[in-house]
């Protein structure tokens, strides 16, 4: 059985989609191991076409190419890839080395797709390079080598997987006579080890160097001349197991290529980063503003407090004169005992405070001075002990006066002395029969309250406990009903649930809290809308990455051809470009994250100097989100170019100028 047998091989090209032009016509030839065959012919006679078919780069032909008894036509695509990788070593006239890899890496690249360890690969590549005289050039890039040296690297690469056949297309075409001879001797020494060498040439001198000349003319074999005996030595075989190009190897290739085009890649990454950066900043600003609003609300409202009001029935609205101030008269109805029991019974409500503000019907007398008191309200948690200028919070039968009222009742200078003194309060009410009744009480001033803006009414106000007020009312046979209930949750997490039950029971949370809630919801919505608008620039960066990767595929068509020639599968090529797009996205995301962090620091410093608040609240979630989105967009944008690269025809890619 011959090592390689070609039977009735016919190949034609379709020109302009119509006419079939025959290039190889019924070629029949057999090759054995240890032969150094030169395929000699004029330019255009079909030599390279024959080589590509033998090398498994072109499967569009008629006839059979049989390698060690197995027809290439019967092999699946993966088997052909493995055949190229394990059995064939390619050498090209123009060397076809990968420019961004070192000499050592160019030789190791074919072995990346085998199960040899990195150490084994490095050792083997170094051995081959030493054997062919390139020991001192391992770290150089191809553009730092002479033509002869480049061709030696290409030979070393072809030898790296210990192939059975070396296909050399015009291996000395770009070299001077002396270097050509050295290369031919090198090839001869490889044949001596039992490898079949097939070179293509149109030089009689080069052809005469080998053991056999197959002359091709116009797609047919015209002559088959045996010049010398073939070498009979048997080539050492080794067990080979193929594998995919590892993620690590594809990332390494991608990084090297990115470094080679670092300027362009940095510009693209910066462009992409602007989109991500603006989204992160918008989200952080939204987060900052809503956070600031919430902080403000929480510092002025007690976080555990749910204030409950009872919306007035339209018909009852006029009957509210008795108890509440102007606001309550219009909008709220007093709570009944049953209502209070209901609210107190809500799950997770720790306690309930009864609240009322009586306005527009109060007078207070001290010594001989009678002053109108705007409102008498109940003490709630909103009245803070630290705001008491003098004295203490009122207990039973005591009352707390605001500074401005105390000044009016006493004088600008003497008002602090009111603390501990008895004052007389009159409240003009109506009883059930609509007759005027005056509620009267003698209470002791417990303290002076300086925070006049606090509480439902600022100015001339006084505060006492609900029970104290209730007792004074009951002395006149009147029932005091609260117009607001302050329900305190056991835990901050229970607040939302309590609010829901309150709504379900027909009550309402105080309008202020729900307005604030609505405002923060609107702010959140606004920040998402702004982020979405900023997100449009993400689309632009995605398109930019797509364009750049497409250009990269076109630029690296030859490299793709080389990789395919040395056995890379479609998925290996896809993986290289996929890694490149993911890396580009990650790089872009990193730039955005670092920039967002620096900008937020700068802006917050300015904002806190000018307004005393830091409004950009950058969270780790936003940064991770930015990184992920950037990588995702890039990967999605890279899908089309990477599958385009994988689909490139290896032969066409190698011919690409």
Ligand X SMILES: Nc1ncnc2c1ncn2[C@@H]1O[C@H](COP(=O)(O)OP(=O)(O)OP(=O)(O)O)[C@@H](O)[C@H]1O
Nearer to ligand X by Cβ, of 44 and 318: the residue is 44
CB of 202 to ligand X, least distance (A): 5
Interface residue with ligand X among 47, 84, 157, 230 (CB under 6 A) is 47
Among 38, 45, 162, 446, binds ligand X (CB under 6 A): 45
Distance in angstroms between the alpha carbons of the first and the last residue of the chain: 39
Closer by beta carbon to ligand X, 45 or else 579: 45
| Closest CB 95 distance from ligand X, rounded Å | 15
Q: Which stretch binds ligand X (CB under 6 A): 38-46, 344-352, 416-424, 459-467?
A: 38-46
Binding residues for ligand X restricted to 15-34, rule: CB under 6 A: 23
* Angle, alpha carbons 461-463-465 (nearest 5°): 160
Which H or E element spans position 28?
strand 19-31
Both tokens assigned to 363: 């007078």
Q: How far is the CB of 561 from ligand X (least distance, A)?
A: 13
**Mode of pairing for the β-strands spanning 369-378 and 62-67:** unpaired
3-state class (DSSP) for residue 428: strand
How near is the Cβ of 197 to ligand X at its closest, in Å?
A: 17
Residue 478, interface with ligand X (CB under 6 A)? no
Single out the segment in contact with ligand X by CB under 6 A; choices: 46-54, 307-315, 550-558, 602-610: 46-54
Of 13 and 611, which has the nearer Cβ to ligand X? 13
**Beta partners for residue 280, in sequence order:** none
Residue 572: strand, helix, or coil:
helix
Residue closer to ligand X by CB (options 452, 649) is 649
Nearer to ligand X, 43 or 609 (CB): 43
What 3-state DSSP class applies to 524? helix
**Which of 11, 407 has the CB closer to ligand X?**
11
Question: Least distance (Å) from ligand X to the CB of residue 21?
Answer: 6
CB nearer ligand X, residue 124 or residue 202 = 202
72 versus 419: smaller Cβ distance to ligand X: 72
Compare residues 49 and 250 and give the one whose CB is closer to ligand X.
49
Query: Taken in order 503, 508, 510, 512, is the CA torsion positive or negative?
Result: positive
Contact (Cβ atoms closer than 8 angstroms) between residue 401 and residue 445: yes
Q: How far is the CB of 11 from ligand X (least distance, A)?
A: 8
**Tokens at residue 503, please?**
């709504």
Q: How far is the CB of 41 from ligand X (least distance, A)?
A: 5
Q: Which two tokens stand for residue 201?
A: 């040439």
Gap between the Cα atoms of 489 and 491, Å rounded: 5
CA distance 87 to 55: 9
Task: Cite the DSSP H helix spans in 345-443.
Answer: 403-409
Closest to ligand X by CB, 47 vs 361, is: 47
Region binding ligand X by CB under 6 A among candidate stretches 44-52, 221-229, 261-269, 428-436 = 44-52
Residue 573 CB, shortest distance to ligand X, in Å, is: 20
Number of residues that bind ligand X (CB under 6 A): 11
How far is Cα 83 from Cα 567, in angstroms, rounded to an integer? Answer: 8
- Quote the least distance from Cβ 169 to ligand X, whole Å: 7
165-204 residues in contact with ligand X (CB under 6 A) are 202
**Nearest CB to ligand X, comparing residues 47 and 100:** 47
- Which two structure tokens, joined as six digits, stand for 350? 């720790």
- Select 135 or 655, whichever has its Cβ closest to ligand X: 655
Pick the closest to residue 134 from 154, 114, 112, 119 (CA basis): 154
Report the largest interatomic distance among the alpha carbons of the chain, rounded to a whole angstrom: 141
Q: Binder to ligand X among 1, 43, 337, 493 (CB under 6 A)?
A: 43
Piece of the chain touching ligand X by CB under 6 A; list 39-47, 472-480, 614-622, 641-649: 39-47
199-228 binders of ligand X (CB under 6 A) = 202
Residue nearest to ligand X (CB): 48
**Residue count of the chain:** 657
Q: Cβ closer to ligand X: 82 or 216? A: 216
In DSSP terms, 169 is beta-bridged to: 200
Q: What's the rounded Cα separation, in Å, for the pair 141 and 333? A: 88
φ, ψ at 114 (rounded to 5°): -120, 175
Distance between alpha carbon 372 and the CA centroid of its chain, in Å? 66
Question: Edge-to-edge, what's the strand order for the sheet holding 70-71?
Answer: 19-31, 4-15, 62-67, 70-71
* Shortest reach from residue 32's CB to ligand X, in Å: 23
Backbone phi and psi for residue 652, each to the nearest 5 degrees, phi listed first: -60, -40
CA dihedral 184→654→242→583, nearest 10 degrees, is 130
Is the Cβ of residue 49 or residue 465 nearer to ligand X in the bound state? 49
Interacting residue with ligand X among 29, 32, 41, 154 (CB under 6 A): 41
For ligand X, which residue of 5, 35, 37, 48 counts as binding (CB under 6 A)?
48
The total of other beta-carbon atoms located within 10 Å of residue 620's CB is: 7
Residue 646 contacts residue 604 (beta carbons within 8 Å): no
* C-alpha torsion sign, points 455, 456, 457, 461: negative
Q: Judged by CB under 6 A, which of 4, 32, 46, 642 binds ligand X?
A: 46
Q: How far apart are the C-alpha atoms of 506 and 16, rounded to whole Å?
A: 82
Q: In sequence order, what are the beta bridge partners of 399?
A: 445
CB contact at 8 A, 55 and 25:
no
Q: Which is nearer to ligand X, 52 or 481 (CB)?
A: 52
Which residue lies nearer to ligand X by CB, 41 or 641? Answer: 41
Site for ligand X in 528-567 (CB under 6 A): none
> Of 301-340, which residues contact ligand X (CB under 6 A)?
none
Listed ranges 1-9, 43-51, 225-233, 342-350: which one lies at the site for ligand X (CB under 6 A): 43-51
Using the rule CB under 6 A, give the single segment among 36-44, 118-126, 271-279, 638-646 that binds ligand X: 36-44
| Position among 49, 509, 552, 557 found at the interface with ligand X (CB under 6 A) | 49
Q: Which residues pair with 424 in a beta bridge?
A: 365, 442
CA 475 from chain centre, in angstroms, equals: 71
**Residues 6+ away with beta carbon under 8 Å from 320:** 312, 328, 329, 330, 332, 333, 334
Residues 588-607 interacting with ligand X (rule: CB under 6 A):
none
Cα–Cα distance, 505 to 499 (Å, whole number):
10
Paired with 388 in beta bridges are 449
Using CB under 6 A as the criterion, which residues of the chain lie in contact with ligand X when the complex forms? 13, 23, 41, 43-49, 202
């Amino acid at each position: 059985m011959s090592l390689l047998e070609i039977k009735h091989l016919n190949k034609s090209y379709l020109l302009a989609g119509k006419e079939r032009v025959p290039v190889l016509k019924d070629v029949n030839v057999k090759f054995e191991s240890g032969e150094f065959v030169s395929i000699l012919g004029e330019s255009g006679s079909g030599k390279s076409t024959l080589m590509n078919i033998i090398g498994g780069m072109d499967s569009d032909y008629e006839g059979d190419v049989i390698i060690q008894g197995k027809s290439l036509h019967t092999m699946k695509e993966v088997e052909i890839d493995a055949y190229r990788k394990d059995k064939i070593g390619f050498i090209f006239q123009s060397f076809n080395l990968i420019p961004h890899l070192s000499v050592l890496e160019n030789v190791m690249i074919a072995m990346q797709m085998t199960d040899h360890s990195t150490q084994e690969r490095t050792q083997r590549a170094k051995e081959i390079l030493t054997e062919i005289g390139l020991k001192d050039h391992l770290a150089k890039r191809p553009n730092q080598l002479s033509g002869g040296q480049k061709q030696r690297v290409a030979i070393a690469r072809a030898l790296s997987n210990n192939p059975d056949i070396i296909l050399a297309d015009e291996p000395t075409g770009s070299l001077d006579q002396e270097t050509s001879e050295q290369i031919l001797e090198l090839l001869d020494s490889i044949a001596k080890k039992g490898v079949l060498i097939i070179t293509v040439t149109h030089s009689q001198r080069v052809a005469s160097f080998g053991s056999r000349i197959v002359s091709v003319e116009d797609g047919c074999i015209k002559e088959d001349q045996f010049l010398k005996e073939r070498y009979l030595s048997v080539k050492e075989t080794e067990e080979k197991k193929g594998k995919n190009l590892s993620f690590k190897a594809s990332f390494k290739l991608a990084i090297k290529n990115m470094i080679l085009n670092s300027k362009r890649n940095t510009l693209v990454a910066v462009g992409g980063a602007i989109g991500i950066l603006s989204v992160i900043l918008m989200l952080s600003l939204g987060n900052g503003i809503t956070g600031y609003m919430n902080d403000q609300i929480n510092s002025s409202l007690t976080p555990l407090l749910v204030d409950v009001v009872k919306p007035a029935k339209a018909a009852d609205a006029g009957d509210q004169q008795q108890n509440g101030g102007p606001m309550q008269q219009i909008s709220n109805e007093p709570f009944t005992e049953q209502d209070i029991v209901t609210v107190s019974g809500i799950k997770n409500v720790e306690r309930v405070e009864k609240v009322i503000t009586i306005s527009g019907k109060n007078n207070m007398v001290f010594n001989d001075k009678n002053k109108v008191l705007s409102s008498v309200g109940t003490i709630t948690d909103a009245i803070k002990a630290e705001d008491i200028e003098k004295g203490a919070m009122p207990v039973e039968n005591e009352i707390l006066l605001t500074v401005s009222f105390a000044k009016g009742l006493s004088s600008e200078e003497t008002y602090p002395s009111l603390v501990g003194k008895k004052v007389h309060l009159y409240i003009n009410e109506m009883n059930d029969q609509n007759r005027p009744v005056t509620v009267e009480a003698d209470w002791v001033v417990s303290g002076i309250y300086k925070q006049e803006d606090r509480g439902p009414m600022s100015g001339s106000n006084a505060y006492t406990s609900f029970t104290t007020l209730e007792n004074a009312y009951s002395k006149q046979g009147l029932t005091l009903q609260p117009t607001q209930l302050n329900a305190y949750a056991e835990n901050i997490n229970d607040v939302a649930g309590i609010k829901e039950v309150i709504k379900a029971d027909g009550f309402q949370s105080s309008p202020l809290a729900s307005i604030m809630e609505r405002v923060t919801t609107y702010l959140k919505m606004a920040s998402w809308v702004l982020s979405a608008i900023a997100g449009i620039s993400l689309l632009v960066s995605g398109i930019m990455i797509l364009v750049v990767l497409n250009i990269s595929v076109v630029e690296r068509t030859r490299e793709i051809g080389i990789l395919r020639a040395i056995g890379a599968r479609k998925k290996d090529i896809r993986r290289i470009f996929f890694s490149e797009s993911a890396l580009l996205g990650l790089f872009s995301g990193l730039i955005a994250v670092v920039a967002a962090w620096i900008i937020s620091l700068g802006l917050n410093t300015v904002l806190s100097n000018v307004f005393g608040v830091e409004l950009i609240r950058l969270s780790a979630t936003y940064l991770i989100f930015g990184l992920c989105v950037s990588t995702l967009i890039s990967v999605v944008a890279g899908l089309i170019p990477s599958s385009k690269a994988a689909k490139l025809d290896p032969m066409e890619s190698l011919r690409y100028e």
